[in-house]
Amino acid sequence: MFGLGYNYRAHSNEVGKPVPDVPVLFMKPSTSVIGPEESIVYPDGAENVHFEGELTVVIAKRARHVPESQSLDYVLGYTCGNDISDRVVQRRESAFGCLLAGKGYDTFAPIGPAIVTGLDPANLQIITRVNGEVKQNGATADLLFSVPYLISYLSRYMTLLPGDMIMTGTPAGVGPIKVGDTIEVEIPGIGVLRNTVVAEDRSILAR
């Protein structure tokens, strides 16, 4: 699971970051991935956890040194994603030039509800709701680095494999979540990814 930071100019502006001139990449572990209607676990002791609705690209076949003009030939389809982020941990890491733990908790990468083919990734709406209230309403037309560019760029440095996913970045409007909230990420043509936030129960881990 690859993630993109600051891939919408409006999001960079809202968090006070400069607009990047290269893709700002990070990775989320496979253990962070959950499906629709599964629970996002709010970590015990966390102070400021945010939602980030995103278009997510699913890779179909091995890709290495792929020209941008051929990038979409390597896409299986598209789905909704939610790049859940612990802002306190993220900012501490970022101060030293890294980004992993704040994005990588278990359950911090909901995706779904389906992988849909035949869509134009340059012309999709992204809507995020918290408890039914619209918080984000953006469009992939505003991506700083397009889906074809991202695939080509990543494949320049590493081999992409079937099932790899790219969360393409979040529009403006990110904000906090709390235990009990229901988060919905909707992309028309794909569907609605819905997850509820629950408190972490560490006693389960001790059994």
Q: What's the 3-state SS for 23-36?
A: CEEEECCHHHEECC
What's residue 206's pLDDT? Answer: 55
What's residue 9's pLDDT? Answer: 79
Phi first, then psi: what are they for 64, rounded to 5°? -150, 130
What's residue 204's pLDDT? Answer: 67
What's residue 10's pLDDT? Answer: 73
For residue 105 the two structure tokens come to 């908790």
What's residue 13's pLDDT? Answer: 73
Count of beta carbons in the 10 Å neighbourhood of residue 206: 6
109-116 and 75-82 as β-strands: parallel, antiparallel, unpaired?
Answer: antiparallel
Count of beta carbons in the 10 Å neighbourhood of residue 135: 19
Which residue ranges in the chain fall short of pLDDT 50?
Answer: none
What's residue 203's pLDDT? Answer: 75
What's residue 17's pLDDT? Answer: 73
